[in-house]
Amino acid sequence: MKIFVTGGSGFVGSALVHRLVAEGHEVLALARSGASIHRVRATGADPVPGDLADLRKTDPHARPWLARLEEVDTVVHLAAHMEFWGPDSLFEHANLVPTVALHAASVAAGVRRFVLVSAASVSTGSQRRPVVDELTPEGKPNIAYSRVKLATERALLNARSGKTELVVLRPPFIWGRGMATLDDLTKVAEAGRFSWIDNGRHTVDFVHVENLVSSIVLALTHGRDGGVYYITDGTPMPIRDFLTPLLATCGVDLSKSRSVPMAIAAPMAAMMDRTARLLRRKTAPPLTNWLVGWTGRDRSYDITAARTELGYSPDVTLEKGLAEMKS
């Protein structure tokens, strides 16, 4: 199969391209810089110089790389601007507009299938159920990134698609060797600014990068047109039991970290979050509604649909993934 990948030089994208090439697929990967071209080529893929930002331009000559879509069977769209803070307009400009344009171009090129990697956080916010699945109403997400991800999903699901099938994957926290978010967590902990909420007892869900890659590979040929699937490791657990060994791979000890009751953390976060937004601050306050939602409320995702319709079975366990990160 010939596959076009965006975000092929990133954390998930590099792992995906490695897997696809190893399985004998021909991969074209969009690369917007010399460094990205080098990383893509090192994985065995064919780098396609270009930038998703080109899709916001009206001049068709500014995006010649779109012609390469006519060569491929499937598009996997991974690339996205990701931050936990910022206005909706930022993510609409950086993520929604280019994604809608890429999907439309794929339809016009006759691409057989378009796989969109979205985010499980589309249901983190006003939706408070401890366990959700694809039939659970998403509610209103509590950060712009997630609100725009949900709007993007809906735009593509409602778009004219011709013969192009659409499959949407929703991973939660993605972990594994090379994850950039681990550096951020480590810095917070080492600076003494890390705190549990309710002693870290609340349930979180997550997915190892290789398990997510497995789901993407399956989505190339499995899953129904218009199907939306949560993708996790299938082992939700208290956040303390997940983050403690994860940060220990970097030599960080969380055993003496303080704890804040949810009854105090929630109103503090609401006040800080609201104040920062009213003042239009460019950086997030120390405590936000999103952070409280992730660490202070139980949330896991039912992956029955992914198991039955995609044939998904997460193979990388927490123990195996942690061992790889330590080696």
Distances (CA, A) of 113 to 103, 104, 107, 146, 237: 10, 12, 9, 24, 34
| Residue 145 domain-assigned (yes or no) | yes
Q: Whose CA is closest to 159, among 111, 104, 105, 93?
A: 104
pLDDT tens digit string along 48-69? 999 999 998 878 777 899 999 9
Q: Are 287 and 268 in contact (CB under 8 A)?
A: yes
CATH number, domain containing residue 157: 3.40.50.720
Q: Whose CA is closest to 301, among 127, 155, 154?
A: 127
| Residue 247 domain-assigned (yes or no) | no
Residue 52, pLDDT score = 94
Q: Whose CA is closest to 266, among 309, 304, 230, 295?
A: 295
Neighbours of 297 (CB within 10 A): 18
Q: Are 159 and 168 in contact (CB under 8 A)?
A: no
How many domains, the chain? 1
Distances (CA, A) of 302 to 63, 91, 122, 230, 297: 40, 27, 15, 7, 16
- How many residues in the chain? 327
Q: Are 78 and 10 in contact (CB under 8 A)?
A: yes
| Residue 212 domain-assigned (yes or no) | yes
| Residue 7 domain-assigned (yes or no) | yes
| Residue 211 domain-assigned (yes or no) | yes
Distance, CA of 283 to CA of 281 (rounded, Å):
6
- Amino acid 287 reads L
Distances (CA, A) of 7 to 48, 50, 282: 11, 11, 25
Distance, CA of 159 to CA of 104 (rounded, Å):
8
Q: Which residues pair with 301 in a beta bridge?
A: 132
Structural domain that includes position 112:
2-179+205-236+300-316
**Weakly modelled stretches of the chain, pLDDT under 50:** none
Q: Whose CA is closest to 237, among 224, 246, 248?
A: 246
| Residue 154 domain-assigned (yes or no) | yes
| 64-69: long-range contacts, CB 8 A cutoff, minimum separation 24 | 65/30, 66/105, 66/109, 68/4, 68/28, 69/4, 69/105, 69/106, 69/109, 69/111
| Residue 274 domain-assigned (yes or no) | no
Burial letters for 188-214: b for 16+ Cβ neighbours within 10 Å, e otherwise? ebeeeebbbbbebebbbbbbbbbbbbb
Which percentage of the chain shows pLDDT scores above 70? 100
Distance, CA of 128 to CA of 138 (rounded, Å):
9
What does the DSSP 8-state code read for residue 137?
A: -
Which tokens sit at 288? 């936000």
| Residue 45 domain-assigned (yes or no) | yes
Beta strands in 130-172 (DSSP E): 131-132, 165-170
